[in-house]
Structure 1
Amino acid sequence: MIGNFSLMRALPVALLLAALSVSGWATASPGIALLNQPALQSAKAPRAVLLAVTRAGDRLVAVGERGIVLLSDDSGQSWRQARVPVSVSLTAVQFVDAERGWAVGHLGVILHSTDGGETWVKQLDGVAAAHLALVSAQQGNDAKRLKDAEWLVADGPDKPFLDLYFSDRRNGYVVGAYGLILRTADGGDSWQPWMQQVDNPEGLNLYGIRPAGSALFIVGERGLLLRSTDNGSRFEALDSPYDGSFFGVQGSSAGELLAFGLRGNAYWSGDQGVSWRRIETGLEVALSAGTRSPDGALILASQAGDLLLSLDRGRSLRHLKGPTGTSLAGLVAAPDGSLIGVGLSGVTRLKHDLYSAQR
């Protein structure tokens, strides 16, 4: 049942758990019907629980509870709601350019847009994903893999996807609870279960996926760190400096990366994850979101609304002036240089010079 699963395993931070509780998802069984029920249009949507935000060119796209997708063409000063074919909570969103993007969420949903987020189509859901896993397992000789796939089918489509990464219009991955990972090489027209290519025998939750240099990294539950150096064909486990969950990772084109998660923990690596150094944050609450601005600044947010800034690709972090006053689940730098946060209170548009003045 999605409610029990949400509370116990799938959702990476207390912010997200609280969000589902507030919105009624933590105790209810929404059912498969929500996979075919369009998101309700509401004037209150910008104040709904929102879980991720990104850019599609100069447009901002935010996603959240009950299938809400919001669009802004004025750097977050005003928002309008897009048309979405499902009513399940959406947890992550990415656009590879101004037109093409994907969003993922509960009940194994994968959505796709070709018009900058104005309209969306469902490419996959948990029912179809479980069937794909079963068919793939039946073609192999791995008894455990077959048993896991049979369990996915029997248990129903209650497993959420929690993050995604597309390198271009065709190639991408979605990751989620219980070690779920799927790969596409045709823009999502078809998907392949990729669990057998990942060094995650316990099926730990996968919370974030990002590139750094020439490698691709996944972070997850209980300090899980995975790296692919062959364009995603195989993900191998790395020695982890931390046994608590990592909720996100940010990488640079130079190959440096910063993994962050529970109790304010953040770790930096300058050698593609071979070694790690703990970065002091001064926080005891979870780091729940991160983003890179177009000028290279790295900004993290905490569950309590604290904001941290790095101007040296994650080697050090310093506090921005004052917390935002609201829990944040997602961050993005707007075209006008302002910082946009989303979370329990919907959209928070921070001052234009919030971080630029401190550079």
Structure 2
Amino acid sequence: MNRITQAGRLLLALALPFSATWCLAESAAVGSPLRTPAMQVAPSQKAVLIDLARAGERLVAVGERGLVLLSDDNGQSWRQAVVPVSVSLSAVQFVDAQTGWAVGHAGVVLATRDGGEHWTLQLDGLRAAQIELDAAKAEQATAADQDSAEARVQSAERLLADGADKPFLALDFVDARRGLIVGAYGLVLQTRDGGATWQSLMGQIANPMGMHLYAIGHQGSRWFLAGEQGFLARSDDDGASFAQLDSPYEGSFFTLQSRADGALLVGGLKGHAFITSDAGASFQRLPVPMPVSFSDAIRLADGQVLLANQSGALFRSSVQSEAALLPLGKPLGKPVSSLIEAADGSLIVAGFTGLLRVPQPATAVSE
């Protein structure tokens, strides 16, 4: 299993986008935060926000220590939601105006059925590790390759012995019942009943080194994963199994996003970005004028993909500029962990210094 040593934590803190770093480097003593509701934060306080989502026209931001903020006026004002845990939340998604999930540190999976007003705990790291151990033992009973099966069981046993300190870093729900969540150590779990039960997919993914997984996405029945050390994988059977792709780059990927025409963009360390129009069979590098790591990518209402890097620079990719990333306005001058397009066309940006609203006129393409 890929373990994170103390020295490794320092390297991660220096090298990774803070959306992943914050979760991976947080204290291992997570028992109390799993039982402690998120602390109320003053509206004026600059909290660390890690990810953003749309719940209908409502905006939802998640971040450190279980913080969830809601906005019903396109990001002009925010209020805090009720959350039962105080561990950092790394990703959030809604499938409609009411139904959503958030994942984060300590293997936490939270669900909401009222647009983010209240959240319930569906899963934690200990239960996630037990699910993987049960799946590994079930596979071992019938496996032709007993050595490989035994290695998986031993890895799962270490996951369980290590405790709840296992961050989930990304999620992708198709509808109110089915979704996949991914995270550190190659963790991949699936639900088909809205999170009431979960199944491990680690045995169906070609990830023998247990690379951390930072991003997930799908195009119809085809799914993609991206992670550390250039790890890329694709499923052609609606997420039942994943085969590793030949990567165009050995550095980590932190985000992936599909354009309206089906092209897939991946972005990672030091400004490396690539595009594929053949489902990962080949990749073309997208030249970027600054060596700053990409942290997030979204698809805008017009079908373009917008990428953000850690320095606050934004780049767009469209069908008309297929082989290039074009700067979008001036750099924001602050680190960006996530961004979302509000219902009024403005951009909302999250990061270490809180939230920023960029009005629609400011998103005009820079020459």
TM-score by length of 2: 0.91
Aligned to 2:335: 327
Pair 1:234–1:275, CA change in 2 (3 A):
same
1:347 aligns with 2:361: no
In 1, the alpha carbon distance for the partners of 2:246 and 2:4 equals 32
Decide which of 193, 196, 208 is 2:200's aligned counterpart. 193
In 1, the alpha carbon distance for the partners of 2:317 and 2:290 equals 15
What pairs with 1:237-252 in structure 2 (closer than 5 Å)?
Answer: 237-252=244-259
Aligned to 2:82: 83
User: How many residue pairs align between the two structures?
Assistant: 355
1:15 aligns with 2:15: no
- Could you say what the CA RMSD is over the residues aligned between the two structures, in angstroms? 2.3
Per-residue CA deviation, residues 173-211 of structure 1 (Å, 9 max, x unaligned), is: 000001000011111100001100101011001010011
Decide which of 216, 222, 225 is 2:229's aligned counterpart. 222
Aligned to 2:105: 106
Pair 1:17–1:117, CA change in 2 (3 A):
closer
Q: Is the 8 A contact 2:30 2:87 kept in 1?
A: no
Q: What is the Cα deviation at residue 41 of structure 1?
A: 1.0
Pair 1:58–1:201, CA change in 2 (3 A):
same
1:171 aligns with 2:178: yes
Per-residue CA deviation, residues 55-88 of structure 1 (Å, 9 max, x unaligned), is: 0110000000000000001000000000000000
In 1, the alpha carbon distance for the partners of 2:127 and 2:14 equals 22
Q: Which amino acid aligns with 1:291?
A: I
Q: What is the Cα deviation at residue 356 of structure 1?
A: 4.7
1:52 aligns with 2:51: yes
Q: What is the Cα deviation at residue 10 of structure 1?
A: 9.3
In 2, the alpha carbon distance for the partners of 1:316 and 1:99 equals 37
TM-score by length of 1: 0.93
Q: What is the Cα deviation at residue 281 of structure 1?
A: 1.2
Pair 1:246–1:170, CA change in 2 (3 A):
same
1:118 aligns with 2:126: no
1:309 aligns with 2:312: no
For residue 54 of structure 2, give the secondary structure of its aligned residue in structure 1. Answer: strand
Q: Is the 8 A contact 1:2 1:159 kept in 2?
A: no
Question: Identity rate of aligned residues, in percent?
Answer: 48
Aligned to 1:276: 283
What pairs with 1:57-72 in structure 2 (closer than 5 Å)?
Answer: 57-72=56-71
Aligned to 1:31: 30
Q: What is the Cα deviation at residue 322 of structure 1?
A: 1.4
Aligned to 2:95: 96
Q: What is the Cα deviation at residue 37 of structure 1?
A: 0.6
Q: Is the 8 A contact 2:268 2:293 kept in 1?
A: yes
In 1, the alpha carbon distance for the partners of 2:68 and 2:341 equals 18
In the alignment, structure 1 segments of 5+ residues that lack a partner are none
In 2, the alpha carbon distance for the partners of 1:60 and 1:88 equals 21
Pair 1:26–1:147, CA change in 2 (3 A):
closer
Aligned to 1:161: 168
Q: Is the 8 A contact 1:48 1:65 kept in 2?
A: yes
Q: What is the Cα deviation at residue 168 of structure 1?
A: 0.8
